[in-house]
Structure 1
Amino acid sequence: MRQRLSSEPDRYRGRRRVPTPPRSRYAAVVTTAFVGAGVVALGAGAMPDAKSVNPSVLDDLRAASTLDQGAADRTESANRASRDSERGGDAAAEDEVWLLPLQGYDFNSPYGMRWGKLHTGVDLVAPEGTPYVAIHDGMVTKAGWFGGYGYTVIVQHTDGSEAIYGHSSAVSVREGQQVKAGDQLGLVGSTGHSYGSHLHVEIHVKGEPLDPVPWLQDRGVDIKLQTEAIYSEVAAS
């Protein structure tokens, strides 16, 4: 082996040589690579290919999914029916609301013969200007002057019956208007053929007048004793 003379240029001068790793490190790197490749191969073998899955298994999965969706649909349908039933119950409760036409009156002149002719309603004496309300839901078919009744409001109820409110000093609704039980219809007065300030109330069924007292009692309202069913008060509040 020839010795390098000091006068010869150094071919490695200015360069850094990367040290050669020991053989033990080569072994470790190679071993790790092989182990990693083996793990990947095992994982790939453990994951089933969709094309290799038994068709009956897929059918079972689809059937189970369909059953789950069917159960969910049935649950939602039941919940919807329950909500509709509750709303229907609320609507039915509203249809059953019957109220007194006003508060703090004196019951006078009941239904029956008076001065040789039929008095077709009842008179509720109250100060002029006292507000009165609808006894039940319905549509206003008359709101204005009505001959001997003076200023009058007539409401046709949802069951086909009618209530007539006569001798008003003023009316607060218009014809064709929908009203709810408890809505103000007008003010007590003494217009038309009247002997003093009062509200004349009539009930007509199929065009014929009926005694309001027993008819309203059947609906939870005693117009003579000025009482009404508790559920009516709650529903109207």
Structure 2
Amino acid sequence: MRQRLSSEPDRYRGRRRVPTPPRSRYAAVVTTAFVGAGVVALGAGALPDAKAVSPSALADLEKAAATSEDLSARAADAETERASRTDEREDGLASTLAAAPEVWRLPLEEYHFTSPYGMKWNKLHAGIDLAAVEGTPYNAVHAGTVTKAGWYGGYGYCVIVQHPDGTESIYGHSSKLLVSEGQEVKAGDPLGLVGNTGHSYGSHLHLELHVNGKPTDPIPYLRDRGVDIQLQVDDLYGDVPVS
């Protein structure tokens, strides 16, 4: 080996020389690489190919999927049947409550209170006026028998219902009547459509109550029975649909 002259620069000055690994380490690295490749190959071979799945396994999977769909359909049918039974029970309850003699209802669902009971134009305004769009259905405030269904002078087309205690409710200025004389009605049953017939100055329902044959202010009378005309508050059965 040639001896380095003192005038030649030292190429390794300031550097660490990495020792060359022995040949045994090269062998270990190469062996590890081959083993890893083999493991990967074995893992890939272990994954089942879709074409290699047996027909019986596919049939089992399809059967399980069909069973799941069938159970879901049965659950949906059962839920529909329960909802139907609930509706039937509610309808039956509503019919029973509406037929009960103590039930009183608002005559309209939406209206504007425009005129109270009292003196008006130097004479008694014997009822209250509820403005609503012409053609709006109005309903019986209480169960009873229709004793009048037709033209009634200044009331225009009118319905009168006599209740079991002898009280009468009068509905005036209708555009159309939906009941006939002698018909039995329940609280909440439709009687006619709001109109502007007779001595009327705009589409509205005129409602009167006669107790013992005399006109009575409907507001306090109905309020005592759980119905507030001015606040449009129905009685405790007011939110139960009538069948």
TM-score (norm 1): 0.60
1:12-161 superposed matches below 5 A: 94-161=100-167
Q: 1:172 aligns with which of 160, 167, 178?
A: 178
SS of 1:213's equivalent?
A: helix
Matched residue type, 1:173: V
For the 8 Å contact 2:113–2:131, the answer to whether it is kept is: yes
Instruction: Pick closer, same or farther for the CA change 1:137–1:93 going to 2, 3 Å.
Output: closer
The RMSD of aligned alpha carbons is 1.9
Once residues 186 and 109 of structure 1 are traced to their aligned partners in structure 2, the CA distance between those partners, rounded to angstroms, is: 20
Once residues 157 and 220 of structure 2 are traced to their aligned partners in structure 1, the CA distance between those partners, rounded to angstroms, is: 26
For the 8 Å contact 1:150–1:191, the answer to whether it is kept is: yes
SS of 1:140's equivalent?
A: strand
Q: 1:199 aligns with which of 202, 205, 217?
A: 205
Once residues 157 and 220 of structure 1 are traced to their aligned partners in structure 2, the CA distance between those partners, rounded to angstroms, is: 17
Residue 7 of structure 2 aligns with which residue? none
1:210 aligns with 2:211: no
For the 8 Å contact 2:99–2:143, the answer to whether it is kept is: no
Please report how far the alpha carbon of residue 231 of structure 1 lies from its aligned counterpart in structure 2 after TM superposition. 3.0
Matched residue type, 1:167: H
Task: Provide structure 2 residue ranges, at least 5 long, that are not aligned to the other structure.
Answer: 1-95
Please report how far the alpha carbon of residue 93 of structure 1 lies from its aligned counterpart in structure 2 after TM superposition. 7.8
Q: How many residues align?
A: 149
Please report how far the alpha carbon of residue 168 of structure 1 lies from its aligned counterpart in structure 2 after TM superposition. 0.2
SS of 2:200's equivalent?
A: coil
Residue 233 of structure 1 aligns with which residue? 239
State the percentage of identical aligned residues.
68
Instruction: Pick closer, same or farther for the CA change 1:232–1:171 going to 2, 3 Å.
Output: same
For the 8 Å contact 1:97–1:235, the answer to whether it is kept is: no
Once residues 125 and 92 of structure 1 are traced to their aligned partners in structure 2, the CA distance between those partners, rounded to angstroms, is: 25
For the 8 Å contact 1:94–1:235, the answer to whether it is kept is: no
Once residues 129 and 92 of structure 1 are traced to their aligned partners in structure 2, the CA distance between those partners, rounded to angstroms, is: 24
Matched residue type, 2:224: D
Residue 189 of structure 2 aligns with which residue? 183
Please report how far the alpha carbon of residue 230 of structure 1 lies from its aligned counterpart in structure 2 after TM superposition. 2.1
Matched residue type, 2:202: G
Task: Provide structure 1 residue ranges, at least 5 long, that are not aligned to the other structure.
Answer: 1-89
User: Over residues 165-202 of structure 1, what are the superposed CA-to-partner deviations in whole Å (9 max), with x where a residue is unaligned?
Assistant: 00000100000000011111000000000000000000
TM-score (norm 2): 0.58
Matched residue type, 1:164: I
Once residues 108 and 190 of structure 1 are traced to their aligned partners in structure 2, the CA distance between those partners, rounded to angstroms, is: 14
Once residues 148 and 202 of structure 1 are traced to their aligned partners in structure 2, the CA distance between those partners, rounded to angstroms, is: 13
SS of 1:225's equivalent?
A: coil
For the 8 Å contact 2:140–2:188, the answer to whether it is kept is: yes
